[in-house]
């Protein structure tokens, strides 16, 4: 086992895997990483509200590396990686159990926008960054439209929010730049008010934020529940590629 001490080492060991590099978070204080042959593990505290232990490689080498990483980082860290890998790891490690399946989606380039309806049915103005005074509005929108959102105003490393307002100034849709790494920006906190759904607002605000993430970090990524097929269709239309992942945990 060897410890990796820089973002460049993590990128080289993982083939610049966007999930692994995102977890490294620029190797900010508290992040640790290790490699064992072709396997890599990155322990990232409070990354999108979880202590995450992202792994990559062949299961035969990930298993001993993961045992080492868990001993070093502690049982609060949840192994995360490609679904097939995590399932193999859990089968080989009785001390772990599957915590859930979802998708990681990423892109370096957005697909061209669809021809948007510019007639009277178009709802809301252009997407724009919101200032800090909008935090109560954002929180209220999320509480009603997406109460399970990991990103909420005021959390550390939830950097900025974008939104779309209607002609009366009411907030209709939001999305955040949250827990971004130096070379992978994370899109989170996507929500649209219930009465305004089905009008393309989510896609518009996500395109605005994703475009900014690519410009600032080089890549954009997000996490989405596998059951949320409507959102997945929107993200794929924007140019995000889907990668099925799974998380494991040490049972309490």
pLDDT value of position 41: 98
pTM above 0.85, yes or no: yes
3-state secondary structure of 230: helix
Q: DSSP secondary structure string, 5-30?
A: -SHHHHHHHHTS-HHHHHHHGGG-TT
Residue 223 maps to a domain: no
Domain assignment of residue 196, given as a range: 128-218
Q: Is the pLDDT at 3 greater than 50, yes or no? A: yes
pLDDT value of position 114: 78
Instruction: Measure the CA–CA gap between 204 and 113, rounded to whole angstroms.
Output: 9
Q: How confident is the model at residue 186 (pLDDT cuts 50, 70, 90)?
A: very high
The count of structural domains within the chain is: 2
Residue 7 maps to a domain: yes
Instruction: Over range 50-54, report the average pLDDT.
Output: 98
pLDDT, tens digit (0-9, with 9 covering 90-100), for 195-246 = 999 999 999 999 999 999 999 999 999 999 999 999 999 999 999 999 999 9
| Together in a domain, 6 and 94 | yes
| Together in a domain, 100 and 11 | yes
pLDDT value of position 117: 45
Considering only CA atoms, which of 148, 176, 180, 145 is closest in space to residue 162?
Answer: 176
Residue 139 maps to a domain: yes
> Comparing 32-41, 115-124, 126-135, 175-184, which segment has the lowest mean pLDDT?
115-124
The number of beta carbons lying within 10 Å of the beta carbon of residue 136 is: 9
Residue 242 maps to a domain: no
Give backbone dihedrals phi and psi of 95, rounded to 5 degrees, phi first. Answer: -80, -5
Q: What is the arrangement of strands in the sheet containing 241-249, beginning at the earlier edge strand?
A: 2-4, 32-36, 39-47, 50-56, 78-82, 241-249, 97-107, 220-225, 185-192, 171-178, 158-165, 128-129
pLDDT, tens digit (0-9, with 9 covering 90-100), for 106-130 = 999 999 987 754 444 578 899 999 9
| CATH number of the domain within which 76 lies | 3.40.630
The number of beta carbons lying within 10 Å of the beta carbon of residue 238 is: 21
Query: What are the start-end ranges of the H helices in the chain?
Result: 7-14, 18-24, 59-73, 83-92, 135-145, 201-217, 229-238
pLDDT, averaged across the chain? 96
Q: What is the DSSP letter of 125?
A: -
| Together in a domain, 7 and 100 | yes
């Amino acid at each position: 086992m060897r410890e990796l001490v820089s973002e460049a080492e993590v990128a080289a060991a993982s083939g610049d895997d966007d999930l692994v590099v995102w977890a490294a978070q620029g190797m900010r204080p508290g992040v640790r990483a290790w490699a064992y042959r072709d396997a890599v593990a990155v322990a990232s505290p409070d990354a999108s509200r979880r202590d995450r232990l992202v792994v990559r490689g062949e299961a035969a080498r990930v298993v001993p590396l993961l045992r080492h990483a868990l001993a070093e980082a502690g049982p609060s860290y949840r192994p995360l990686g490609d679904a097939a890998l995590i399932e193999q790891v859990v089968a080989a490690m009785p001390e772990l159990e599957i915590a859930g399946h979802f998708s990681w989606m990423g892109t370096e380039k957005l697909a061209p926008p669809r021809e948007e309806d510019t007639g009277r049915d178009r709802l809301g103005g252009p997407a724009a960054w919101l200032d800090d005074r909008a935090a109560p509005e954002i929180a209220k929108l999320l509480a009603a439209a997406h109460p399970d959102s990991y990103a909420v105003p005021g959390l550390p490393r939830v950097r900025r929010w974008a939104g779309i307002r209607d002609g009366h100034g009411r907030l209709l849709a939001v999305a955040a730049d949250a827990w971004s790494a130096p070379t992978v920006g994370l899109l989170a906190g996507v929500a649209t008010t219930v009465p305004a759904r089905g009008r393309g607002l989510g896609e518009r605000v996500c395109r605005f934020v994703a475009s900014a993430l690519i410009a600032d970090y080089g890549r954009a990524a997000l996490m989405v529940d596998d059951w949320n097929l409507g959102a997945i269709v929107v993200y794929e239309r924007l140019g995000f590629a889907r990668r099925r992942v799974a998380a494991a945990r040490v049972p309490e």
